[in-house]
Structure 1
Amino acid sequence: MKFDFRIPKEEDSLQIATWKYEDEYSFYSNDKTKEKQEWALNIHTEEDAFTIFDESNKLVGHCSFDDEEGEIILGLQMEPGFTGQGNGYEFVKAILDFGKKKYGYDKISLYVAKFNKRAIRVYGKLGFHKIDDFTWEIYNEKVEFFVMEKCY
């Protein structure tokens, strides 16, 4: 599968803001709180953020490469209808290849909720290793995360 990375447009942000996930993955829904929806509505204003389209020109995700004091933190989200269908490996690999080419980093990190076994499995297959864990209070609940890192 081929992916096309683009600078987000306002209409992309409007679409992303409607994304809702099922069951335990509802944690990632972009209407979960007013703040989360506000963030999604403004993806097109973020630096180092990209929308991801498939071969049929369908918006299937977005990603960002945030530089936190020299450490690149990857953020990503797949369109709900694109999840759980075995697309994760190709999707994340394409993001990593794109980011490596654009930014030339030697190491990249990401945060993943501990309950998200599917994502953790994909990240592991792509060479990420768990290096830390932490608890973050989100939506008035404590959620456990792993910090995962990939070195090139």
Structure 2
Amino acid sequence: MYKFSPLTDDAAEEIAFQWKYDGEYSFYDMTADQEDLEEFLSPDRSGYYAVERNDELIGYFCFQRDEAGQLEIGLGMKPKLTGKGLGLEFVLEGIRFAIANYQTSALSLSVAAFNKRAIKVYEKTGFESIETFKQDTNGSTYEFVRMNYEPKGEK
């Protein structure tokens, strides 16, 4: 059972400073980009949720509307849990939470193009790639894939 609750200062600091990913996935360390870190630690984290399972912080989701009103999702899973087949259930829970709490069924997200395992999980949940784009982050320019989700029936 997953529990979503507003992201507290303590949870934000744990994620930002203790969660360190291996190899190329260190790209997702909060400390890799100062601007992202400042936003994550800001007292105004509306739309940010901690996700717990069995009273353990296992991840977070961020939900924000873009200029067109579509709900954008950001997410992260605790490093020791990644690559173990848990991502599909985690992302599906986030989708369910978003649909139930944000009165929308159309979602979008952006993922670093190198992150093939995440892209595979997103595709299994029903996200489809719509474009690639370059973005400046983490001190360089990286290619990202934008993906959209529109339900085609009950998941």
Q: TM-score, normalised by structure 2?
A: 0.91
**Aligned-pair identity (%):** 35
Q: What pairs up with 1:1-152 in 2 under 5 angstroms?
A: 2-18=1-17, 19-42=19-42, 45-55=44-54, 57-69=55-67, 70-152=69-151
- Shift >3 Å, 4+ stretches: none
Alpha-carbon distance change, 37 to 48 in structure 1, aligned in 2, over 3 angstroms: closer
Q: Could you tell me how far 1:68 is from its partner in structure 2?
A: 1.0
CA RMSD of aligned residues (A): 1.2
Whole-Å separation in 2 of the counterparts to 1:92 and 1:13:
19
Give me the whole-angstrom Cα distance separating, in 2, the residues matched to 1:140 and 1:37.
Answer: 13
Between Structure 1 and Structure 2, how many residues are aligned?
Answer: 149
Query: Residue 110 of structure 1 aligns to which amino acid in structure 2?
Result: L
Q: Which moved more, 1:24-33 or 1:87-96?
A: 24-33
Separation in 1 of the partners of 2:116 and 2:20? 19
- Unpaired runs of 5+ residues, structure 1, are none
Does structure 1 retain, via aligned residues, the 8 Å contact 2:107–2:148? Answer: yes
- Given that 1:20 and 1:31 are in contact with CA atoms closer than 8 Å, whether structure 2 keeps it comes out as no
SS at match of 1:31: helix
